[in-house]
Structure 1
Amino acid sequence: MRVAWAELLHAGLHGLRLRPEEFWALTPAELRVMLGAGGGARAMDRSRLDALMAAFPDMTEDPE
């Protein structure tokens, strides 16, 4: 796979206003997300919502 370094550098340094050391410290996945090219997180399904609700229940009483 050929990498278009000039375009990536321009996007990172000018578009995202990163300093060179910040740009070079990024992983390819981080850069993709910052540039809006990464696929976002999957939509939450009911089983994941149920697991989160069980792990972090709403408080029904004042704790004090």
Structure 2
Amino acid sequence: MNRFDWPALIRAGLQGLRLRPEQFWELTPVELQMMLGQAAGHAPMGRTGLDALLAAYPDEKQMERDDGA
């Protein structure tokens, strides 16, 4: 079971972030997590993602040839 470590969260909010008690208790868990730098984010784009992006949006369009080649 996941339980909040309230003493650590309160200490981080009141001492680390210097929030007033009423500010701390008005935050949602997600807001507090973001303020503490623990927000879940997207992983950086890997090479496969970059290659797919480059294929979908090339920097230059290829010139069409008129000679039938």
Q: Which TM class, normalised by the smaller chain length?
A: 0.5 to 0.7
Determine the C-alpha separation between the residues in 2 that align with 1:13 and 1:42: 30
Percent identical pairs in the alignment equals 55
Aligned alpha-carbon RMSD (Å): 1.7
Q: Give the total of aligned pairs.
A: 44
Determine the C-alpha separation between the residues in 1 that align with 2:15 and 2:36: 12
Answering whether residue 25 of structure 2 is matched by residue 24 of structure 1, we say yes
Question: Per the alignment, do residues 18 and 2 of structure 1 end up closer, same or farther by CA in structure 2, a change over 3 Å counting?
Answer: same
Q: TM-score scaled by structure 2?
A: 0.56
Equivalent position of 1:34 in the other structure: 35
Determine the C-alpha separation between the residues in 1 that align with 2:42 and 2:26: 23
Matches within 5 A, 1:39-54: 39-40=40-41
Determine the C-alpha separation between the residues in 2 that align with 1:25 and 1:37: 18
The CA deviation string for residues 11-46 of structure 1, in whole angstroms up to 9 with x for no partner, is 000000000000000000000000000024688xx7
Aligned-partner SS, 1:38: coil
1:17 aligned partner, one-letter code: R
Stretches of structure 1 that go unaligned for 5 or more consecutive residues are 47-64
Find runs of 4+ consecutive structure 1 residues off by over 6 angstroms: none
Q: TM-score scaled by structure 1?
A: 0.61
